[in-house]
Amino acid sequence: MIMEINLWGLTDNLIILVKYSALITSVANICLLLGMLYVYLERYQKVKSKFTTTLVLFTSLFLIQNVLFSAYFLFNVPETIVNAVLLLIFLGLEFTALALLLMITRE
């Protein structure tokens, strides 16, 4: 880790934050998915169509995936900054997509 600090010029706190960023982003995704699930369940109670049923199922499966990701990241923190950044890119793109979908869903 000392070589990493000298190589990247980062402090220990920043390295810890970067390594746990995947967990933080995954929890943010869970919050977005809970919001989407709430909206879809409200619509399902009113409409009860196949489309709203599929939206509830889709959101529930994404929610399960992100809960499992969070549990995995909690016990398996990435060893290197490169691994943490790659996970953050994937989860950051997912967060952006979910935020856009929630924004459109609420309109």
Residues 68-103: tens digit of each pLDDT: 988 988 888 888 888 888 888 999 999 999 999 989
| Stated pTM of the model | 0.80
Q: What is the pLDDT of residue 45?
A: 94
pLDDT in tens, 7-29: 555 567 777 787 788 888 999 99
Task: Assess whether pLDDT exceeds 90 at residue 1.
Answer: no
Q: Distance between CA atoms of 82 and 52, rounded to whole angstroms? A: 39
Residue 45 near residue 37, CB atoms below 8 Å:
no
What is the structure's pLDDT at 2?
47
Nearest CA to 43 among 31, 59, 29? 59
